[in-house]
A and B are shown apart, each in its own frame.
Chain A
């Protein structure tokens, strides 16, 4: 089973999903990330799915879970880089990703985190 690496950039954690994840890896990522948020006192989490070709209900649930979990640990989550085909498919599937912030790309994701933290110090 492959594990997704978690990068640290200041007080932001960046997860860039580069491979077709099996469900076990998805669950492992959730756990690893919760630990990392606490260990690094991270204030923000960015999940980059630019390379992800499909988001099914399982991955969708992971994104929502990570967002809810990090909120509890006082960190904000932004999902960045969702492809148009993936977004169109998610809408058809019926997944709204409620509670998950999104941005078009990594740069905008970082800016969004800065802005959110600026607004709620």
Chain B
């Protein structure tokens, strides 16, 4: 870095420090950000410049936060990056007032820095948007949790993702309706993909099993994670005589046995009606 460039840069840093109030006010007016957000950003930038201007991690962190929240709130990408570019405009007024050659030259350097940060903002915005879209797709998928037929007379609901009380109720109603529609007498509720359950969700699962029984079908719950087992025990929820299996495969094997299917016998498979005993 040449001596001149260094001087120019110092001048800008000085202007930024001494005119903080004016620049911030102007910046807030130009952008749609809150004064708090901008003040944090402004001070992080000053700190970074003071310590040589190489370490912009804090600034980038704040900018990433700003872009993500903008993305969530539905701001456009240009609105979001304008929040950053606005600082150029706000500073330019001060530079103009100063009128010195150093300040003007320094402003060019500062512009480039802000442009880089603006692009970074744009990028994080795009990534955040993408993540939001993915999350929404996943939620949609969750809502349309399928009830699948595993075998003649055996259906399963593989539950994936966070279960809240409302979703559990919807899925369980769907399962019970499937029993009626398909005449399946065995159902597997597989919760391998469920990270945790609360009391209400656990209760809904249990009630579904009891309701299925009242309708004339048997439910097995499979894939209970250790953590969930722990929750259920500590919450004091009675699982009673409900059959639980470690995996979906174990549950299927159990349901097959119960429905009288004999796998790998010379006579092939035989299906008979379930009995009430054991």
List residues of A whose CB falls within 8 A of some B CB: 79-80, 82-85, 87-88, 90-92, 96-97, 101-105, 107-109, 111-112, 114-116, 119
Contacts and interface: CB of A to CB of B under 8 A. Distances in A.
Interface in B182-230: 183, 185, 207-208, 210-217
Contacts of B208: 88
Contacts of B211: 84, 87-88, 90-91
A60 B176 CA distance: 20
Given A88-B173, A108-B185, A108-B273, A83 B214 contact: no
B276 A101 contact: yes
B34 interface: no
Chain A, interface SS category: helix
Contact of A87 (B185, B212, B273, B276): B212
A102 B216 contact: yes
Interface in B124-159: none
A104 B179 contact: yes
**Which A-B residue pairs are the 3 nearest by beta carbons?**
A84-B176, A102-B216, A87-B211
Given A92-B207, A104-B183, A105-B183, A87 B275 contact: no
A119 B207 CA distance: 30
Contacts of A90: 211, 214
B275 A116 contact: yes
27 contacts: A79-B216, A82-B214, A87-B176, A87-B211, A87-B212, A87-B215, A88-B172, A88-B173, A88-B176, A88-B207, A88-B211, A91-B207, A91-B210, A96-B210, A97-B214, A101-B276, A102-B213, A102-B214, A103-B216, A104-B179, A104-B180, A104-B185, A104-B215, A104-B217, A112-B274, A114-B273, A115-B275
Given A84-B173, A116-B276, 20 more contacts: A80-B216, A82-B214, A84-B176, A84-B215, A87-B214, A87-B215, A88-B173, A90-B214, A91-B211, A92-B207, A96-B214, A102-B215, A102-B216, A103-B216, A104-B180, A104-B216, A104-B217, A108-B216, A109-B216, A112-B273
Contacts of A91: 207, 210-211, 214
B272 interface: yes
Nearest to A112: B273
